[in-house]
Chain A
């Protein structure tokens, strides 16, 4: 069965550094991949979508890469700030069907320290 993995250990970094989060998957060939931010006690908020034919996507301080050979996506936050502290989820998008077939990872918690 398909499997999606995100580092279950929290990532602790210093303010100003670049945070890099990893999303790996197996037994699946997604058409796209999404990243969400989730704050404690809140619902996930969509950040970025990258398609299988795109190597990289940027939005302000965020950068996502997608390597279909390695079956991996990397999510980067440059010049990180304490306000970036949250849990970040990745989700795999299907080749057919809609968003009802998204497969979510468990998320990685990021803590940015002043």
Chain B
């Protein structure tokens, strides 16, 4: 039982490049979330999903897209990376009535 896994762990991009972050959970959770964590700030929700095939915007969705084609996977895409997207990205999942279970994070640097 791996919980929530994220791929990759680290990535360096140049401005304008694109990439996809993959999140996978093996707990059969309905809800999945993508957060970003920046120094001196609390976790901020980017997008979330309440079930397979559904997605919704969070607090800071601009510049990101997501997809939830399978219940266990939640993908976060950056179409044209900007330095302001340098951050640590956390995926989380939950049953909806329990606190989110977080993954280990992806550290992204955009040059």
Contact among A42, A44, A49 with B43 in the assembled complex (CB-CB below 8 Å):
A44
Number of A-B pairs, beta carbon distance below 8 Å: 55
Contact with A along B33-57 (1 / 0, CB 8 A): 1000000111111001010000010
| A114 interface hit (Cβ, 8 Å) | no
Q: Which residue of B lies closest to A101 (CB)?
A: B45
Nearest CB on A from B111, distance (A): 21
B102–A103 CB distance below 8 A: no
Quick one: given A43-B102, A49-B99, are A100 and B42 in contact (CB under 8 Å)? Answer: no
**Number of B positions contacting A (CB below 8 A):** 24
| A46 interface hit (Cβ, 8 Å) | yes
**Interface secondary structure of A, over-half rule:** mixed
Q: Which residues of B are in contact with A by a Cβ distance under 8 Å?
A: 4, 31, 33, 40-45, 48, 50, 56, 58, 90, 92, 94, 96, 99-105
